[in-house]
Amino acid sequence: MKFSNFLFPDCRDPERDGIVIDETLREAWLSDALGVDVIWLAEHHFDGICAYVDPISFAGALATSTRQSKIGFAVVQTALHHPIRLAEQLAILDNVTKGRLVVGLGRGSSYNIYDYQGFGIDHHEAQARLEEAEEILLKGWTREAFEHHGTYWDLNVPMLRPRPYTKPHPMLIRAASGEGSLLELARQGRPFLMNVQSMEVTRARVSHYCKAMRESGFDEERIALNLEQCWVWRNVFVAETDAEAERVGVPAFQAMVESRAALRNRIYRETGMRIEVPQSDLPSARASVEHGFIYGSPERVAEAIAEIAALGIGGVIATFRLGPLPHEAAAGSLTLFMRQVATEFRSPSASR
């Protein structure tokens, strides 16, 4: 399996944004030194849920200060970007990192209407803008001069430069926050990024994904290969003992969940608007300690990771800094995870 760190640093106090950004840089450098496969970056605006806000700019800071970890986006809120500017920025990052780029694209925020209002975008257009923008990205990276006449962009583009380092283009992957989008990716034969879900929901969605691929004519070898390119997101805290993980990690996770719920409710009170999200027949339970959080000693955490590995999923996107958890505690958890959990699944002799 592949293991990654999702840098998702919450900051409730605007005066501390710079401090948290500095700490996040140090967490990225530690991740690279520990051999993390991918450092994932998020995009959220105006709410403090992600202190560095803009993953493209932050990726630029990491491109020359990391050496081995790939840099991924989970995700670029594609509706908020002009696709030609985005294509240029990503091509530059691909060149600077010499191909260490994973371009995760998504519809955008599932709750924060400010993300769209602040950029003057109708959130109802987000999915359609994503689809058209991805088409333009691919044209820009793989063609010379081209024209594009679509719903949102009317473009006449000379050859885009620089050309991507990765041929024909950097790896593209889509987020699937709901089962409907997951099944559509399956029908297209594309891998997915799955947000935090309970194991029950994860198992069900992986099963439905495989079934949809079979029904679309893909064989078992292709399905297994696709799953190896898929990632699932988990909140993680590792300590020397289960008791220590419960004492330190559980309150941080609960505070994070409560803070995000309060934020969603505040935005609704201020705007009177909620963004509709797809509903599932199975409860996600991702806000509960039991189902939305992996914590404990290295042995206990490895058991939880083994459940994911058994599904054939290729990678885990782990968030180690949870809400108000101090940088030092997150760094300690990350170090234990990489040295005592990840090694079990990377060793050819691993029995889990």
DSSP lists the bridge partners of residue 106 as 77
CB 249 within 8 A of CB 326: no
* CA pair distance 4, 66, nearest whole angstrom: 14
- With cut-offs at 50, 70 and 90, classify the pLDDT of residue 196: very high
Longest dimension (CA), the chain: 61
User: Mean pLDDT of all residues in the chain?
Assistant: 94
Which pLDDT does position 22 carry in this prediction?
Answer: 98
The pair phi, psi for residue 340, each rounded to 5°, is -125, -10
How many CB atoms within 10 Å of residue 243? Answer: 11
Range from 42-51, 324-333, 340-349 carrying the lowest mean pLDDT: 340-349
Question: What's the Rg (C-alpha) of the chain?
Answer: 20
Q: Is residue 352 in a domain? A: no
Q: Choose among 343, 318, 324, 307: nearest CA to 249.
A: 324
Q: Is residue 70 in a domain? A: yes
Query: In the predicted model, is pLDDT for residue 283 greater than 90?
Result: no
Q: Is residue 126 in a domain? A: yes
- With cut-offs at 50, 70 and 90, classify the pLDDT of residue 349: very low
* CA pair distance 29, 103, nearest whole angstrom: 20
Q: Is the pTM of this model over 0.75?
A: yes
Terminus-to-terminus CA distance in the chain, angstroms?
11
Q: Is residue 116 in a domain? A: yes
- Pairing outcome for strands 154-157 and 146-149: antiparallel
Range from 111-115, 127-131, 259-263 carrying the lowest mean pLDDT: 111-115
Q: Is residue 16 in a domain? A: yes
- With cut-offs at 50, 70 and 90, classify the pLDDT of residue 126: very high
Percent of the chain at pLDDT exceeding 90: 87
CA trace torsion 149, 150, 153, 159 (10° rounding): -50
Q: Which residues contact 316 (CB under 8 A, 6 or more apart)?
A: 1, 2, 3, 4, 231, 232, 233, 234, 305, 308
CA distances from 17 to 6, 11, 57 (A): 18, 6, 15
How many CB atoms within 10 Å of residue 183? Answer: 20
Q: Give the model confidence (pLDDT) of 4-42 as tens digits.
A: 999 999 999 999 999 999 999 999 999 999 999 999 999
Query: In the predicted model, is pLDDT for residue 281 greater than 70?
Result: no
Q: Is residue 351 in a domain? A: no
Q: Is residue 264 in a domain? A: yes
Range of the structural domain that residue 110 is part of: 2-346
∠ CA 7-306-49, nearest 5°, is: 20
Q: Is residue 78 in a domain? A: yes
Which pLDDT does position 284 carry in this prediction?
Answer: 55
How many independent structural domains does the chain possess? 1
Q: Give the model confidence (pLDDT) of 105-117 as tens digits.
A: 998 776 788 889 9
For residue 289, give the CATH number of its domain.
3.20.20.30
The pair phi, psi for residue 48, each rounded to 5°, is 80, 0
- With cut-offs at 50, 70 and 90, classify the pLDDT of residue 287: confident
3-state SS, one letter per residue, for 57-124: HHHHHHHCCCCCCEEEECCEEHHHCCHHHHHHHHHHHHHHCCCCEEEEEECCCCCCHHHHHHHCCCHH
CB 160 within 8 A of CB 199: no
- 3-state SS assignment for residue 169: coil
- Tokens (6 digits) for 322: 């949870």
Query: In the predicted model, is pLDDT for residue 351 greater than 60?
Result: no
